[in-house]
Structure 1
Amino acid sequence: MGRRQARESAMQVLYQLEVGKVDVEEAFRYLQDNFAIAAKDLEFARHLVKGTVENLTALDEIIAGYSHDWQIKRIAVVDRNILRLALYEIMYEDTPYGVSINEAVEMAKLYGGEKSGKFINGILSAVSKQNKPASSQESIGESTQEPG
């Protein structure tokens, strides 16, 4: 599965950190003991968790700014951590918006509630529209054409 599995693992660890009040190493030990995860995917998941935790305040401020009428603590824990993870990748890892949004929506469908995918898509799409640099706003057709 690769990066998708790594993202799911990172989200599960973030969830455990928040709900289970476990430490990062304990959460990753649980993953290693109970799930078949390739070493490179586990390393990527660790990187995502570390970056998300280190930037938690800034990420939560972004979420709060776009989740109109929703206090951050009222957003479901799964949804909140999917948003944090996707925003971390967008804002700090330069992951393309489309990739982050798609991965987040897929995780929301799998782990979240009935309306989670739509909610997460709405927030991440709004963030992408407000923060996308002009150079990345070209259409897919333009960006995939070979120079002629």
Structure 2
Amino acid sequence: MQKKLEIRVIREEIFKILFEHELIFESDTLKRVDDFIIENEKVLNKSKEDFLKNYIKAYIENENKVIDIIKENLEGWTFERLGAVERVLLKMSFYEIKIKNEAFEIAINEAVELSKIYGDEKTKKFINGILAALVKGN
């Protein structure tokens, strides 16, 4: 019997899909979600499938609003100057904190953990600093 996918694996896949969305103009993000669901149908339960679909859909619907919020909170940086990994991690975190109103501790922890995998040695500190300032300012 195959083990069910953990939520951290789902979040990592969300990051990968959104990273592709960030880099490839007109990428078919929703098709990527469907492909992942089909590939993992035996280990993906309905609640995690719904989490993945709803997250991606709502993120895309709110992406411009999230970018505006990030731009308002960046000090000493421009949004356009950020690397793709940092942009995606910040957009995910700001979306979760400011749009979904999720607990900031979870959003920050997930972003930091993903930054350790996909960023360079400075990414973790950078992401943590911006998100800490966001939380402190609100």
Q: TM-score with structure 2 length normalisation?
A: 0.82
Q: CA deviation at 1:125?
A: 0.7
Whether the 8 Å contact between 1:13 and 1:27 is mirrored in structure 2 is: yes
Q: How does 1:87-102 map to 2 (within 5 A)?
A: 87-102=94-109
Matched, 1:2 2:6: yes
Which amino acid is 2:22 matched to? E
Matched, 1:23 2:28: yes
Give the total of aligned pairs: 131
Q: CA deviation at 1:33?
A: 5.7
Q: Counterpart in 2 of 1:13? A: 17
What CA distance in whole angstroms lies between the structure 2 residues aligned with 1:68 and 1:106?
A: 23
Q: How does 1:59-70 map to 2 (within 5 A)?
A: 59-70=66-77
Which amino acid is 2:23 matched to? V
Tell me which stretches of 4 or more aligned residues in structure 1 moved more than 3 Å. 32-37
Q: How does 1:1-148 map to 2 (within 5 A)?
A: 2-21=6-25, 22-32=27-37, 38-39=44-45, 40-131=47-138
Where structure 1 has 5 or more consecutive residues not aligned to the other structure, the ranges are: 132-148
Larger of the two Rg values belongs to structure: 1
Whether the 8 Å contact between 2:93 and 2:108 is mirrored in structure 1 is: yes
Q: CA deviation at 1:96?
A: 0.8
Q: CA deviation at 1:6?
A: 2.0
Q: CA deviation at 1:30?
A: 4.2
What CA distance in whole angstroms lies between the structure 2 residues aligned with 1:107 and 1:118?
A: 12
Cα RMSD between the aligned structures? Answer: 2.0
Q: TM-score with structure 1 length normalisation?
A: 0.77
Q: CA deviation at 1:127?
A: 0.7
SS in 2 for 1:25: helix
SS in 2 for 1:55: helix
User: Cα gap change, 1:78/1:95 in structure 2, threshold over 3 Å: closer, same or farther?
Assistant: same
